[in-house]
Amino acid sequence: MMDTDKRINFGIVGLGTAGSALVQPVLKNKNFRMAGAADLDEQTLARFKADFPEASVFTSAEAIAEAQGIDALFISTPTQFHTGHVLAAIANGKHVVTEKPIATNLEDADLMIEAADKAQVTLMVGHSFGYETPIKAMREVVKNGELGPLRMMHNWYFTDWMYRPRNPEELDTTLGGGVTFRQGSHQFDIIRLLGGGLVRSVRAMTAKFDNSRPAEGAHTVFLEFEDGAAATAVYNGYDRFRSAELGYNVGEGGLPFNLDKYGSARSALRNAGPDNELELKKNVRYGGTSSRNWSNIPDSHPFYGLTIVSCENGDIRQSPDGLLIYSEEEKKEIVIPKGISGRDHILTELKAAMVDNIPPLHDGRWGKANLEVCLAALESSNKRKEIYLNHQKMVQD
Ligand SMILES: NC(=O)c1ccc[n+]([C@@H]2O[C@H](COP(=O)([O-])OP(=O)(O)OC[C@H]3O[C@@H](n4cnc5c(N)ncnc54)[C@H](O)[C@@H]3O)[C@@H](O)[C@H]2O)c1
């Protein structure tokens, strides 16, 4: 256990889309200090060093794993590298949060879980949208029982995921690419949190609509829980209909979504040409020309598509300011304070585990259970049959 008065020295491994998104939450959290970062790309590292001269920078994941003076690492390298990078961090006594999905196969997830148990360090998996404040609030309403037993959960999301600039591995299912691994992992975390965690079986059909982007770009997944509750996760990443139209025009980060720019991801990629896609993807890395500014608090809560929960006596969905509850007699809004993001919740959960010895919900076993659903969806589609699950973890809250 760590000293309760000491700040946690935190490092980020991989300063791409996911790694950059954790910088602001670390900076604003008084329990954490931005202590270092690693990336293979020296330009990205140089931009990080310019912003944080006191932090140490490294050109490999192994070097930051071995570094003194860093307590915990966020592994946000491409999915196929998670296992090696997590194991290197744990071997050096570091606590770890790894991006989702935890790995591309269950054996690797077991290796990480066993290593963390043996070294007695924290292993967590995130960020997923299951950490976001409105989803946690929905879970509270379900759990307090005011609407009766939970029966159905749906998460439907139509985006441009397939046409945002991508690295080759993101369009290769064997390396964790495609929307079932990458976006399904968000949907399944939302649904598993709401439903209490124990998915019994999965039936799915995945789809590839565009041969030039050779990974799953859409799926329809039906999940049945041990207690009989049912859920659907529907995703379409082909940049035509956008489900923000059904969700107050609010985007994933809580920012307004511009519906006037129809098909803009597809046209931007077409205009840039295939040879320039990697350059476009690089621009999203830390401090790059297309990197997002995470320091503004958005006007709305973040929406990960349309999430609707049905209990026997009422339904729940999100509003820009919180939740809408459709009960027997009335429709009411629960307003939820803004400004605490899912990534802030990751750091709170990590600090509680490292300092106060409180087991995290989103531990390695939770991440393995999420991966089991992703793999089952792919297998179900491939074999056109229902897949039964064996590694689900119950929500303890
Ligand atoms: N939670 C989310 O919302 C979210 C969003 C995007 C990506 N992700 C996840 O994050 C992971 C990374 O995805 P991304 O889109 O950020 O990728 P990315 O390509 O944008 O970033 C990866 C970064 O890792 C660096 N890198 C690669 N190999 C490295 C190594 N051996 N040592 C150090 N650095 C190395 C690359 O140079 C790059 O800067 C994936 O697992 C993905 O599923 C999660």
Write the pLDDT tens digit of every residue in 38-50.
999 999 999 999 9
Strand order in the sheet with 32-38: 56-58, 32-38, 8-13, 72-75, 95-98, 123-125
| Residue 354 backbone phi and psi in degrees, to 5 | -75, -40
On whether both 136 and 151 belong to a single domain, the answer is yes
* Residue type present at position 274: P
| Pocket of ligand 1 contains residue 372 by CB under 6 Å | no
Count of domains observed in the chain: 2
On whether both 177 and 322 belong to a single domain, the answer is yes
Residue 181 belongs to domain spanning: 130-340+374-388
On whether both 265 and 316 belong to a single domain, the answer is yes
Q: Does residue 367 lie within any of the structural domains?
A: no
CATH number at residue 123: 3.40.50.720
| CA gap 115, 361 in Å, rounded | 18
| Pocket of ligand 1 contains residue 80 by CB under 6 Å | no
- From the alpha carbon of 15, which atom of ligand 1 is closest? 39
Distance 341 CA to ligand 1 centre (A): 20
Checking if the pLDDT of 385 tops 90, the result is yes
Average pLDDT of the residues in 113-139: 98
Q: Do residues 230 and 223 touch, judged by C-beta distance below 8 A?
A: yes
State the Cα angle at 74 between 128 and 179, rounded to 5°: 35
The position carrying tokens 């790059």 is 288
On whether both 322 and 173 belong to a single domain, the answer is yes
Convert the pLDDT of each residue in 183-232 to its tens digit.
999 999 999 999 999 999 999 999 999 999 999 999 999 999 999 999 99
On whether both 294 and 333 belong to a single domain, the answer is yes
On whether both 226 and 305 belong to a single domain, the answer is yes
Q: Does residue 33 lie within any of the structural domains?
A: yes
Average pLDDT of the residues in 127-147: 97
Query: What six digits make up the tokens of 122?
Result: 């924290």
Helix (H) or strand (E) holding 47: helix 42-51
Cα–Cα nearest to 202, from 1, 57, 389: 389
Q: Does residue 157 lie within any of the structural domains?
A: yes
- pLDDT band per the 50, 70, 90 thresholds, residue 296: confident
- pLDDT band per the 50, 70, 90 thresholds, residue 259: confident
Convert the pLDDT of each residue in 97-108 to its tens digit.
999 999 999 999
